[in-house]
Structure 1
Amino acid sequence: MMDIKKSSSGTSKAHPIYNDTNHAQVTSVLPDGDVPYTDHEMDADERVIMALGYKQEFKREFSLWTTFCVSFAVLGLLPSFASTLYYGMGYAGTAGMVWGWIIAMIFIQCIAMSMAELCSAMPTSGGLYYAAAVLAPPGYGPLAAWITGWSNWIGQITAAPSVDYALSAMILAAVSINNPDYVPTYWQTFLLTTFIMIIHAGISSMPTKRVAQFNSWGSTFNFLALIAVLIAIPAGTSNSPKFTPSKKVWGDITNQTDFPDGVAVLMTFVGVIWTMSGYDSPFHLSEECSNASVASPRAIVLTSGVGGLMGWFLQLVVAYTVLDIEAVIDSDLGQPWASYLLQVMPQKAALGILGLTIICGFSMGQGCMVAASRVTYAYARDDCFPFSNIWKKVNPHTHTPVNAVILNAVLGILMCLLILAGNVAIGALFSIGAIAQFVAFAIPIFIRVFFVGNRFRKGPWNLGPYGPYIGGVGVSFVVLMVPILCLPSATNADLTLDLMNWTCLVYGGPMLAVLIWWVVDARRWFTGPVVNVEHAIHHIEQEPEVSEGIEPDNHEPDETVVPGKSVDGK
């Protein structure tokens, strides 16, 4: 690091300090040799984010543990499983549940590890969007970032509304259990969901330290509640005999679709994919995490690994205790998890577990709101949205993107109006979350595996020589699953509007509009991640040696200050 002195008028004055960012172990939008500079000394985390082309705007008050807590809260295994039980159990029975989860998790773990490798090399809130732009072949960076960013954003903003809707349904189901004469209406569910969304927006707007504390408490409760449920259901079941024989659990594919058994099992993966989609949260929180190049990728892998294993244990518990799958799916309560608990346990015990699930669901919705707001902020910072100058502002009091939180909350409440159209319409939010995130996860990994060559500079956490192979396995799984996620459960004459899978329309429609926008207009002005630091092309790779008693020459670099330069240099 050198203190360069320069003045346009020829007089000497203090010049900003060139920190050793060009030796940071990152893959950046900045061309080789470009050195960001500031007027102060930078710590390791700030050098990394500056090397990526961004100013340090958040306080780094997340640790490995608190980052893991947010992502584990977003994962929300217990409420996620409760929300998607219809898919896992309803499509292929118990065999579909236990085999489907473990098979899907092997491939999902490949995606998570590949994502962690990208995160270590590019620990920025833009996450996958930034990675797609940096790694894409020359000239294609903006398009790759555009598609990845919008797909990821659509998945992110549907997460909190879908979780809060499921949470509201569970709360009202609990009321119905206590008062059988009460039948929840659609508008009551909508109002309760809206109320919960507003609370989550308020918490997400607090200072980073408070958000981290809340999510740490919530994640700890999630973990303890999950363990309690794994113990309580087998111990407290009123079944006689207590457990279904293993031969039936593992071999009984109760196919309730019009497709072959193998396809039915693949269709159960929607529940696994939606449940496990929260492991990307540490990527989006990396600008608020200390030692982000190591802690954030570790949190990604830890979330996916622990979540996958614990989720499978929960699948096994339910598969070994459920008595009547059709009764669970078609219950008048309108919530399969609640009807399952009542089927296998006394009412008070069932309500107790349902209460734990509700608390976990609240924490999960909060984690989703936090992660989505950071994604919105990161994309607005690069002017992806209309009125981006509003959404990219960081509140000077809380040092959090409050405007982005408010935007997401308003959009989420508007999406929850689908509740008034019935269960089929609101169910589309779950499908969107699964397929939108999956597509966004796969694009930068696909580019890294097949196009990046030696332009990828591995971070301190990496997969070594196995990275491309692991990424290739993950991408292949995504290619297989995207059309599967769009299949309805019925075909031909059995297919009605009530059974239609609306994912193609609800996800494909906005993405088609985004592509049309790109062709018509956006390609003229959108250039991918926009650098917001001053930087200079610095031709000196090392500091000059200092001989005894001799000060080094203050060599003036050939500098071109380019604030706001994008990924392709425009």
Structure 2
Amino acid sequence: MAEEVPKYDPERQASLTGVAEGLSSEDDAAVLAKLGYKQELRRNFTMIEVFGIAFSIMGLLPSIASTLAYSLPAGPAGLVWGWFTASAFIFVVGLAMADLGSAMPTSGGLYWWTHYFASPKTRNALSFLVGYSNTLGLVGGLCSIDYGFALMFLSVIVIARDGNWTPSNGIVYAVFMCCVLVHGVLASTISKAMAKLQTAFVIANFILIFATIIALPVGRASQRNDGEFIFGTTGNLTTWPIGWAWFLSWLSPIWTIGGFDSCVHMSEEASNATKAVPYGILMSIGSCWLFGFIICIVIAACISPDIESVLGSPFGQPMAQIYFDALGKKGALALMSLLFIVQFLMGLSILVAVSRQSWAFSRDGALPFSKFFRKVNARLFIPVRAVWGCVFVALILGLLCLIAPAAAAALFSLAVAGNNVAWGTPILCRLVWGQKKFKPGPVYTGDKLSRPIGWLAIVFLCFGIMLAMFPAGGPDPTPETMNYTVVVNSAVWGGALLYYFIDARKWFTGPKITLSEEDLTEEQAAAIREEGLQIEGLPAAAESVEGEGITEADPDKKA
């Protein structure tokens, strides 16, 4: 019998370039080829390292410390049960996103999924909105993390000077600026070690967690609060009703456990991405849910019953006061120093994630100067230009630090509201328009559970956006207590949609195909022509004339 000739598979063939260059395994590159993209980044990240970058961005204890002003006004029970309840809902969001991340792992996943599942009339506008909301939301996350670092770093100086010095807004911004610039340098120069460093970052996080949950109870051995205080004592240091004050305490876990989408943005650098991405999402959320609950219990057990004095600490950071009360000056200096180091590592990890999202969005021609920012460094195989573009935007947004603490607080809520829109939109599009187009990956919640999980996730995300818009102190805010999130996010969403309908609708066609036409299957090519998608370097499908040859074109040229 004649030897059977293997059937030609264009998707496998399309993956060979990435495999030959040592960027990826054949299976991972083939999965990416099915989505229309060639392999351009090196797949350095294992499943544990994908989890590591998300967990590192969340920076559990530093994030809880940075957001105590949201949770403590509801009292110790608000701190503890607010964390547990909100984390449960966030895990539901993670399940919905894990379904999508396993099925279609790509760096620009959120806006790619939106475009894929949305109706033909809405997909371009919604994809454009999600891409900008996610990109600026992640930059807002970088700003808020590095702003938190600046406050923690300066609180150590205040403690060392026994509270006899208060940093000005200008000094806070200067420390913030230096932090962002150092992150840019590191993210551009240690790319090959970045995956391995995530393990070290996770270890640093757990060292800080265990040091805190051991040292605080020991230091407050004779002054610990009882179980009734921890689990049953509510409070209300706002002028909102007590129930709404408890809901506002959810902002702490919502902001803290807000980096899980980084697993999606690292998809094209992850080995075995169809499993690494969803497991990274669920492991990072689950770890924060559990260990965050433990940390909140320990804080509630060891905090001074005069919570208002803790929030008004002369050290400028409630966690610094909690450490000081339990461990004295030297202990507070030691743990606050470890705290700001871990916070610094958080900022580095989120800069890596946001640079991949912005690179993916520029690869599809949606960001200003996309042709410039989409370039990948030929030696490092990372988008260095995208890294520094994110650094520049962060420095501009960080100027809010110079206005007032209330304006700077908008950076926290920008990350919450912007990312909630970016997470909820593709889930909604899948449920409303695209359920029949959805083909599950190896990690899937099942046909019976997938839809209820998706709808519950959407309800929670909408509620989270509304929470992020409320003034934390109460109604009738002054300019000093105003929540400027509604202003900042309205500018982001309104600006993105205005840009789209005035200009971008003329040329933005959604995700571009970076494979050559010869590397596409017949089904892919037919679907691309039917849906009007664009192959990079070739004219838009809508412009092609039957029977004519295809000529090269500028990928950034407006249709």
TM, length-normalised to structure 1: 0.87
Measure the CA separation in 1 of the matches of 2:329 and 2:314.
Answer: 16
Structure 2 match to 1:88: 71
Within 5 A, what are the aligned runs for 1:57-76? 57-76=40-59
Q: What letter is aligned with 1:88? A: S
Q: Is residue 534–residue 541 contact of structure 2 (8 Å, CA) maintained in 1?
A: no
Q: Name the SS of the counterpart of 1:405 in structure 2.
A: helix
Q: Is residue 36–residue 50 contact of structure 1 (8 Å, CA) maintained in 2?
A: yes
- Does residue 1:273 correspond to 2:254, yes or no? yes
Q: What letter is aligned with 2:301? A: Y
Q: What letter is aligned with 1:154? A: L
Q: Name the SS of the counterpart of 1:413 in structure 2.
A: helix
Cα deviations across residues 403-436 of structure 1 (Å, max 9, x unaligned)? 0001111111122222111211111100111111
Q: Name the SS of the counterpart of 1:205 in structure 2.
A: helix
Q: Name the SS of the counterpart of 1:279 in structure 2.
A: coil
Measure the CA separation in 2 of the matches of 1:533 and 1:107.
Answer: 39
Structure 2 match to 1:25: none
Q: CA deviation at 1:512?
A: 0.8
Mark the CA change 1:140 to 1:206 in structure 2 (over 3 Å): closer, same or farther.
same
Measure the CA separation in 1 of the matches of 2:250 and 2:497.
Answer: 28
Q: CA deviation at 1:389?
A: 0.6
Measure the CA separation in 2 of the matches of 1:484 and 1:75.
Answer: 20
Q: Name the SS of the counterpart of 1:345 in structure 2.
A: helix
Among 508, 527, 530, the alignment partner of 1:526 is 508
Structure 1 match to 2:228: 247
Structure 2 match to 1:48: 31
How many residues are aligned here?
524
Q: What letter is aligned with 1:256? A: L
Measure the CA separation in 1 of the matches of 2:284 and 2:16.
Answer: 35
Q: Which moved more, 1:42-51 or 1:70-79?
A: 42-51
Q: Unpaired segments of 5 or more residues in structure 2? A: 543-559
Measure the CA separation in 2 of the matches of 1:221 and 1:109.
Answer: 24
Q: Is residue 153–residue 375 contact of structure 1 (8 Å, CA) maintained in 2?
A: yes
Q: What letter is aligned with 2:298? A: V
Cα deviations across residues 340-376 of structure 1 (Å, max 9, x unaligned)? 2222332222222112211111111111111111011
Q: Is residue 509–residue 534 contact of structure 2 (8 Å, CA) maintained in 1?
A: no
Structure 2 match to 1:427: 409
Q: Unpaired segments of 5 or more residues in structure 1? A: 5-16, 22-34, 542-556
Structure 1 match to 2:295: 314
Mark the CA change 1:364 to 1:462 in structure 2 (over 3 Å): closer, same or farther.
same
Within 5 A, what are the aligned runs for 1:27-42? none
Q: Is residue 146–residue 343 contact of structure 2 (8 Å, CA) maintained in 1?
A: yes
Within 5 A, what are the aligned runs for 1:97-496? 97-180=79-162, 181-206=164-189, 208-237=191-220, 240-242=222-224, 244-323=225-304, 324-465=306-447, 466-491=449-474, 495-496=477-478
Measure the CA separation in 2 of the matches of 1:301 and 1:569.
Answer: 38
Aligned sequence identity (%) = 32
RMSD: 2.5
Q: CA deviation at 1:495?
A: 2.4
Measure the CA separation in 2 of the matches of 1:308 and 1:227.
Answer: 16
Q: CA deviation at 1:129?
A: 1.1
Q: What letter is aligned with 2:374? A: K
Mark the CA change 1:245 to 1:139 in structure 2 (over 3 Å): closer, same or farther.
same
Measure the CA separation in 2 of the matches of 1:318 and 1:382.
Answer: 46
Q: Is residue 164–residue 361 contact of structure 1 (8 Å, CA) maintained in 2?
A: yes
Q: What letter is aligned with 2:437? A: R
Structure 2 match to 1:564: 536
Q: CA deviation at 1:157?
A: 0.8
Q: What letter is aligned with 1:94? A: P
Q: CA deviation at 1:185?
A: 2.0
Q: CA deviation at 1:156?
A: 0.7
Q: CA deviation at 1:248?
A: 2.4
Measure the CA separation in 2 of the matches of 1:399 and 1:64.
Answer: 20
Measure the CA separation in 1 of the matches of 2:9 and 2:534.
Answer: 15
Measure the CA separation in 2 of the matches of 1:514 and 1:66.
Answer: 33
Q: Is residue 121–residue 460 contact of structure 1 (8 Å, CA) maintained in 2?
A: yes
Q: Is residue 137–residue 451 contact of structure 1 (8 Å, CA) maintained in 2?
A: yes
Q: Which moved more, 1:523-532 or 1:216-225?
A: 216-225
Measure the CA separation in 2 of the matches of 1:375 and 1:405.
Answer: 10
Within 5 A, what are the aligned runs for 1:485-564? 485-491=468-474, 495-535=477-517, 538=521, 563-564=535-536
Cα deviations across residues 484-515 of structure 1 (Å, max 9, x unaligned)? 221113455x5211111111001112211111
Cα deviations across residues 16-35 of structure 1 (Å, max 9, x unaligned)? x64455xxxxxxxxxxxxx9
Q: Name the SS of the counterpart of 2:67 in structure 1.
A: helix
Q: What letter is aligned with 2:27? A: A
Kindly indicate which of the two structures has a greater share of residues assigned to helix.
2
Q: What letter is aligned with 1:315? A: C
Cα deviations across residues 140-186 of structure 1 (Å, max 9, x unaligned)? 22122111111111111112221111111111111111113332222
Measure the CA separation in 1 of the matches of 2:100 and 2:57.
Answer: 20
Q: What letter is aligned with 2:65? A: A
Q: Is residue 133–residue 492 contact of structure 2 (8 Å, CA) maintained in 1?
A: no
Q: Is residue 219–residue 363 contact of structure 1 (8 Å, CA) maintained in 2?
A: no
Measure the CA separation in 2 of the matches of 1:37 and 1:116.
Answer: 24
